[in-house]
Amino acid sequence: MKKTTLLITTFLLLTPNVWAQDVDVHEIDSETRSQPNTNSLMFRRNAEQYRMLSNEQKAEIERQREEARKQAEEYERKRAEYERYVAEMEARKRAEEEAARQRAEELKPITLFGNKLKIYALVNGEVITSSDMQSRINAFILTTGIPYNAKTKSMITSRVLQGAIDEKLKIQEAKKNNIRVTQHEIKKAVQDFEKANGMQPGQLRQVLAEGNVRMNVWTSQLESDIAWKKLISNKVMGRVSVSEADISRAYDDIKKDMSTAKKLVSEIVIPKKDAKDLNQLAEVLRNDPRFELYAMQFSQSPSAANGGHLGWVTKGQLPDVLEKALANMKEGGVSSPIAYGNDYYILKLEKIFNPERDAKSLPGKNEVRAYLQNKKLEEYSIKYMKDLRNKALIEKKI
């Protein structure tokens, strides 16, 4: 009884104008007022006054009392809601801070085997050491921003090792064909990289040092890229040509294609023998918009060089199991790993083209010519590298 009286009195302080002005029983609980044996003269007097009220007046008092109760409940509900909101915001802030801390931790330079020297692989007798791999993995983390953690560790290591092997093969093949890369060319490539990334001249060396990347490992990668471009250019000179007939056929195909429903698709392809943590990778890709970057680094399909882009595909162009997965996807969606043949596929549905809805735009003749030339160069480069891998003596030690 006293608790009830206290509650009503307290709430009156919060809402002072809710009671009837013509009845002086504001702070007295009805149960207390109606008790005949109370020792309080005030209570006896007000109980008598209450009994003298009409039924309508008593009903009005009860209505106002009920309204006050509801307002008190609403106040408590909003207070609890606010407290939950504050708690959620604080929890979200802590989670974001922890995620940022973890990401910063995962992007820190790594150390392999406590800096003890080990052999990762031999490529036609040339050694790839743990020191090389350490710098290359750190360079990968530095340039891609892909975290090195339990979910990505094996894929990053595999990708970086394959890149180191291909780098050896490119330089070896270039030397066999009397292709040389000068220090001036390497220096210019470094300057171009600094300029493209908004760095001051000479800043790259400092950035690499902070990321625990040896400068000679970085320049070795630049050397292999320059040498390979020279080699491919020399090999295909006079062999890769695009005729007017090629352009006309391609243009006719494009016009026909523009009247057909299609889907813009990208892929990441991982051989089953190398497949690890693919479900985790798919989950990462659903939350990280850089599918193209992951495809370039992890996919072992020829499309990897193009960021995993397959281009526009129409019904019947892909295997049934892949088309079935795409049929259940929305624009921007990423599939779970799909087993097909000896590989696993992770697909991204970039866009859906509906010829009845979407505007049609045809490329110019020069664009078609450039596309065909680049396509032939890329096909030649991929085949050349595949042949080198097949002929090379490659021994992986770790």
C-alpha distances in angstroms, 362 versus 255, 256, 376, 385? Answer: 7, 11, 21, 34
Task: Identify whether 377 is part of a domain.
Answer: no
Residue 31 shares a structural domain with residue 129: no
- Rounded distance, CA 339 to CA 247, Å? 37
CA–CA gap between residue 164 and residue 161 (Å, rounded) = 5
The answer to whether residues 121 and 235 belong to one domain is yes
**Whole-number pLDDT of residue 105:** 77
Shared-domain flag, residues 236 and 265: no
pLDDT at 10: 39
Residue 152 lies in a domain: yes
Phi, psi of 312 (to 5 degrees): -80, 130
Domain count, the chain: 3
pLDDT tens by residue, 139-184: 999 888 888 888 788 888 988 999 999 999 999 999 999 999 999 9
Based on the domain organization, do 16 and 124 belong to the same domain?
no
Is 355 a domain residue? yes
Determine the pLDDT at residue 369: 86
Indicate whether 137 pLDDT > 90: yes
Domain that holds residue 350: 260-359
Residue 105 lies in a domain: no
Same domain, 350 and 275: yes
Instruction: Report the alpha-carbon distance of residue 54 to residue 44 in Å, rounded.
Output: 18
> Do 236 and 141 fall within a single domain?
yes
Which of 36-40, 73-77, 183-187, 379-383 comes out lowest in average pLDDT? 36-40
Q: Are residues 12 and 78 in the same domain?
A: yes
pLDDT interval class at 44 (50, 70, 90): low
At residue 28, the pLDDT reads 45
> How many Cβ atoms sit within 10 Å of the Cβ of residue 337?
18
Final residue of a structural domain among 54, 89, 124: 89
Q: At what angle are helices 291-298 and 278-287 packed, to 10 degrees?
A: 150
The mean per-residue pLDDT over the stretch 248-268 comes to 87
* Between residues 32 and 336, the one the model is more confident about: 336
Query: Residues 286, 375: contact at Cβ < 8 Å?
Result: no
Residues 61 and 154 occupy one common structural domain: no
For residue 335, the domain's CATH number is 3.10.50.40
Residues sharing a CB contact under 8 Å with residue 257, sequence separation 6 or more, in sequence order: 312, 314
Same domain? For 141 and 170 the reply is: yes
Pair 181, 226: CB distance under 8 Å: yes
The answer to whether position 397 is within a domain reads no
- Is residue 365 very low, low, confident or very high in pLDDT (cuts 50, 70, 90)? confident
In this prediction, residues 218-247 reach a mean pLDDT of 88
**Residues 205-211: contacts with CB within 8 Å, 24+ apart?**
207/142, 208/139, 208/142, 211/109, 211/138, 211/139, 211/141, 211/142
Q: Residue 192 falls within a domain, yes or no?
A: yes
At 37, is the pLDDT very low, low, confident or very high (cuts 50, 70, 90)?
very low
Q: What is the per-residue pLDDT for 38?
A: 46
For the chain, give the percent of residues with pLDDT over 90. 41
How confident is the model at residue 22, as a pLDDT? 44
Neighbouring-strand partners of residue 396: 121
Q: How far apart are CA 144 and CA 146, in angstroms?
A: 5
Q: Flag whether pLDDT at 364 surpasses 70.
A: yes
Average pLDDT taken over every residue of the chain: 84
Q: Determine the Cα–Cα distance for residues 59 and 47; give it in Å rounded to an integer.
A: 16
* Same domain? 273 vs 303: yes
Number of other residues whose CB lies within 10 A of the CB of residue 51: 10
pLDDT mean over 374-385 = 88
Q: What is the pLDDT of residues 81-104, one digit of tens each?
A: 999 999 999 988 888 888 778 777
What is the average pLDDT across 32-38?
46
Q: Which two tokens stand for residue 390?
A: 């097949």
Q: Is the pTM of this model over 0.85?
A: no
Q: Is residue 221 part of a domain?
A: yes
- Find the mean pLDDT for residues 3-20: 40
Say if 368 falls within a structural domain.
no
User: pLDDT digits over 296-332, tens only?
Assistant: 888 888 888 778 999 888 888 999 999 999 999 999 9
> Between 243 and 37, where is the model more confident?
243
Span 46-69, mean pLDDT?
84
> What CATH number is attached to the domain comprising 177?
1.10.4030.10
Residue 298 pLDDT:
86
CA–CA gap between residue 249 and residue 76 (Å, rounded): 74
Residues 170 and 124 in one domain: yes
Q: Domain check: are 122 and 227 in the same one?
A: yes
Per-residue pLDDT, averaged over 239-248, amounts to 84
Choosing from 47, 74, 89, the residue where a domain stops is 89
342 versus 154: the higher-pLDDT residue is 342
